[in-house]
Structures are given as structure tokens and as C-alpha cells.
Amino acid sequence: MGVIRQVWPAGRELAEADLEQLYAYPADPRWVAVNFVSSADGAITVDGVSGGLSTSADRIVYRLGNDLADVVLVGAGTAMAEGFEGLRPDARTAERRRRFGLAPIAPVAVVTSGRSLPADAPVITRALVPTLVFTSSAAPESLRAAWTSNGARVFVVGEAEVSGVGVVSTLVAEGLGRIDCEGGPRLFGSLIEAGVVDEFRLTVAPFLVAGTSSRAALGGVVDPAALELASVLTDGESVLLRYLVKREPGS
């Protein structure tokens, strides 16, 4: 692991154990952390995928995000574009998850309207544990049945569109309250609109991309959600930011 320094709130070099504590999920019954990597000029993909922006420091915190989560939440378009096949923990991840009292393998939860997730999607057919598919009642029953026959657990949460609140509340009810959301932009936008995002983890990578790449969140217009800066790290190239969503008292 390269040297990663915390520059705020206090300057110090971080060992692996320090990073684990910093990126661990709180003891809350529900915590939704959203992870994105962005170029310095705001692009979130290169040639349609995020891999071209990832740096060594980003890969460390990305791994911590899903190593320490109960479930990895992703939009179907992103799952297909990025070639998601479910998680396959190595010995290091297995030991980390054991220490934090987590199940050996975190399942993937995929959000889809139906059109973007084929019945034989690798995120369903190649996953080591059943994938959770969240869709709306507008998705054809035949497609829902095909997802199920290929090994997925299917949840209908919403009529014309998938309900962000329904997705999160169902995951909590399933005992999967530590939620690592890895995009895409429309899923992130829907979670912002639903008011269920607790933390935003953003890596600013040292690249300029230009082009027409999408921004991190897309969707309807909402009142801006105020954020509180939680930590700033750097390896001398990338900047790793953690923001907490400010909540009104009692919310």
C-alpha cells in the first residue's frame, strides 16, 4: 500500500488499520455510503467505464467500501457496463470481513426498470451468492420469473419506477443495512431524491478528460442536500473526500 496521509481534520500518515476504522460503517441500523471516482474536471467515466479513472489510492478505498459492507448496491446499467459478476473475496478480504463480523460474501443488489438487465446478466448468473434484483411492477412478469429462475431474489418496490426508499428499507429488513452504493448516476440521483444517502465518498483523480461524460448524480431537481466534510486524504496525487449528509434534528 502506498503512503496515504490524512490532511484534515488532522495531518497524519494512515496505516491499514486506520483506514479500516475511517471507512467502517457506523453502528446505525441503516447507512448508505455512495462511492464515486471523478477526474479533476468532473468526468466519472472514460469510454463509458470508471476504470480509466481509478488510481491506486482509489482502489484501496473502493475495496474498503465493499469489504466492510453488508451489500453492494448498483444500477443495472452500471452493472452491465462495468461487467459486474458479484464479489469474490480473497484471503485478505475474508479475514477483514471476519474481524468486522460480516458475512463471508456481500451480495450485490441491482436496481433496474427491467430493460437494462437481461435475464442472463453475469451479475446474476455468475454471482457466488444470490443477487438481489429490485424492480417495479412495470417490469414484465416473464422477465422477473427469468431472473428468479437464474438464481436472483427479486423484489418489486414501486409501480412505474423503483422506489429508492423501498430499496433501502427492504435491504435493512433483510439485515443488510450497511449499504455500499457504487452508482450509476441515475441510481445516485434517485437516492438523493429519496433522502436516504448518509455519506458520499469521492475520489478526485489527477486527470483531465473533457468530452461528454456524465456527472455523478442525475435525476429530478431537488433542494440541495447540505454536506459536512468528514475527512480529506491524499497519496500526493488523488484526493479522497468523505462527506456526511447533514440531517435535521429528529430526521
DSSP state letters, 43-66: ---BTTBSGGG--HHHHHHHHHHH
- Confirm if 35 and 72 have CB atoms less than 8 A apart: no
Better-predicted residue by pLDDT, 63 or 48: 63
pLDDT digits (tens, 9 = 90+) for 167-220: 999 999 999 999 999 988 999 999 999 999 999 999 999 999 988 878 888 888
Q: What is the pLDDT of residue 12?
A: 94
Q: What mean pLDDT comes out for the span 55-67?
A: 95
The span from the CA of 127 to the CA of 239, in Å, is 32
Measured between its terminal Cα atoms, the distance across the chain in Å is 39
Beta-carbon contacts of residue 174 (< 8 Å; ≥ 6 apart):
132
Nearest Cα neighbor of 181 from 47, 173, 171, 155 is 171
- Confirm if 237 and 189 have CB atoms less than 8 A apart: no
Burial 187-223 (b: 16+ CB within 10 A, else e): bbbbbbbbebbbbbbbbbbebebeeebeebbebeeee
For residue 164, CA distances in Å to 60, 135, 158 come to 28, 10, 9
- Confirm if 36 and 183 have CB atoms less than 8 A apart: yes
For residue 196, CA distances in Å to 70, 233, 246 come to 16, 25, 11
Q: What is the pLDDT of residue 249?
A: 65
The span from the CA of 62 to the CA of 70, in Å, is 14
β partners of residue 13: 5
The span from the CA of 82 to the CA of 87, in Å, is 13
Q: What is the pLDDT of residue 50?
A: 83
- Confirm if 164 and 196 have CB atoms less than 8 A apart: yes
Average pLDDT, the chain: 94
